[in-house]
Amino acid sequence: MTQPNAQRRARIVATLGPATSSIERIAALLDAGVNVFRLNFSHGSHDDHAERLRTIRVLEEQRGQPIGVIQDLQGPKLRVGSIQGGKILLQAGQPFRLDLDPAAGDSHRVNLPHPEIFSALHAGTELLLDDGKLRLRIDACGADFAQTTVVVGGPLSDRKGVNVPGVVLPISPLTAKDRADLAFGLSLGVDWIALSFVQRPEDIDEARDLVKGHGVRIMAKLEKPAAIEHLDAIVDRADGIMVARGDLGVEMPPQSVPVLQQRIVRAARNAGRPVIVATQMLESMIAAPVPTRAEASDVANAVYSGADAVMLSAESASGQYPVEAVRIMAGIISEVERDPAWRAGLDATHSAAQATTPDAICCALRRVTALLQLAATVAYTASGFSALRASRERPTAPILALTPSPLVARQLALAWGVHPLAFDAQLDSPSEMMEQASAAALRQGLAADRDHIAIVAGLPFGCSGSTNLLHIAAVNAGSLASLPAPAPRQAASAHETVIV
């Protein structure tokens, strides 16, 4: 079966929601170009998410195509309490108090039911309310109150959100709701966990302790300024990164967000971690059949920077044109990847290899695929390491990742240029490995008769992180015709030179 969008390198993540819950809609999203689905646990019931995941797995089985699923945890939501009449109007320059008193608020004060915030405040700190529309400056504070001056006023309604930029809050990224949601997601068999409200590297450790033994990967959502101060350490501990520009844009000046986006993408690429650029990419398509030209440029810029994936949120979850949004996003990606400047930019921002055998092999892979204009790379991988390391090099040829693990195959659906395939073939010798690699590339439509492919693997087979072989093979369709396809998956060549 030919892999869809075989020549597109950047991946598309789409959020499922009320507009995209039926099997027909989810199938249409896949046909339009989605590689990975996001289940947003800030909305919807457990039953809603379970049914969507069941539908994804049905389609996966029908298509023989690994489909990744990200469970996005809500994280702590800091909000003010209730207000008399539902709304007040704050004027710039007026005093305003926040405290732990649960009584309904008025024009002089409001409840802030988060003692952990008060413990972290100090005079001069700023609080942002309602996604940054209102700004307060702390004049004095204690364990149960903060006396402020309104810097930027406006209407304030019940339960509006509170942001505290520039302050590391002494709270876990995992609330009781998140822990219950996480346990449920693990029982369903999600592939990735997106962790909200990451402030410190230790936040990743806390989540990893909870998912131990399940094999899922942890994605750090970078939406807090504190996380940027620990960027390299967080990238090092996480398995993937999401540039969550919505919340990041609330707590940081708007002009800083594009620069931070580029910095985060570079850090993730350097570490070989899949990185998603998310939030408001085609926002106008929630209600319009075409995006603005600025939105199209936004998607294109993420692709030019070498991001692994771009993501749709409300556009696909609740918008009026979810399938059209995916088609347009796929079209933008394809258009960018036809531009010679795109390849030149990837090469110019290529990360230096480390003095390790896997780095040496995959660095050579990048040079070989460009020099010989190979049709594809086939990476044998038990843990996903070989495929991710090959993807980090951003080679000119697509990467077919052959893995015995369906979970790893689904996780690799997020990685730049990787076409994952779970397969059951028993490999007993290097020659058998070469034959199965060539057959798989042929059957997946990534190579044709007489094309040349590169094969990367680790010997001995099944040893995670041991990438130590690069082989160039010529595909001979005639000699491969009799090879059985490993059920229910695929895999298969003439040999040339082995580089170890």
CATH of 84-163, one of 2.70.98.10, 3.40.50.1010, 1.10.569.10, 2.40.33.10: 2.40.33.10
pLDDT at 485: 59
Contacts of 481 (CB under 8 A, 6+ apart): none
Helix ranges (H only) for 244-400 are 245-251, 257-271, 293-304, 314-317, 322-337, 340-348, 357-372, 385-392
The C-alpha R_g of the chain, in whole angstroms, comes to 24
**Range 11-75+173-339 classified under CATH 3.20.20.60:** yes
Q: What is the CATH number of domain 357-499?
A: 3.40.1380.20
Q: Is the peptide bond before 358 cis (omega within 30 degrees of 0)?
A: no
- List where CATH 2.40.33.10 sits in the chain: 84-163
Number of H helices, E strands in the chain: 18, 22
Q: CA angle, corner 410, sides to 406 and 415, nearest 5?
A: 135
DSSP reduced 3-state for 481: coil
- List where CATH 3.40.1380.20 sits in the chain: 357-499
pLDDT tens, residue by residue, 419-452:
999 987 677 777 888 888 998 999 999 999 999 9
pLDDT at 500: 29
Instruction: Decide: residue 367, CB within 10 A, 0-12 exposed, 13-18 middle, 19+ buried.
Output: exposed
- Please give the Cα distance from 327 to 139 (Å, whole number): 51
Pairing relationship of beta strands 68-72 and 192-195 according to DSSP bridges = parallel
pLDDT in tens, the chain (500 residues): 444 466 899 999 999 999 999 999 999 999 999 999 999 999 999 999 999 999 999 999 999 999 999 999 999 999 999 999 999 999 999 999 999 999 999 999 999 999 989 989 999 999 999 989 999 999 999 999 999 999 999 999 999 999 998 788 999 999 999 999 999 999 999 999 999 999 999 999 999 999 999 999 999 999 998 999 999 999 999 999 999 998 888 888 889 999 999 999 999 999 999 999 999 999 999 999 999 999 999 999 999 999 999 999 999 999 999 999 999 999 999 999 999 999 999 999 888 888 888 888 988 999 999 999 999 999 999 899 999 999 999 999 999 999 999 999 999 999 999 999 998 767 777 788 888 899 899 999 999 999 999 999 877 766 666 788 899 999 988 766 655 555 444 333 333 333 32
Instruction: Decide: residue 73, CB within 10 A, 0-12 exposed, 13-18 middle, 19+ buried.
Output: buried
Active site residues: 38, 79, 221, 279
pLDDT at 465: 61
* C-beta separation of 328 from 290 below 8 A: yes
pLDDT at 2: 46
For residue 85, which phi and psi values (nearest 5 degrees)?
Answer: 80, 0
CA distances from 129 to 126, 184, 381 (A): 10, 32, 47
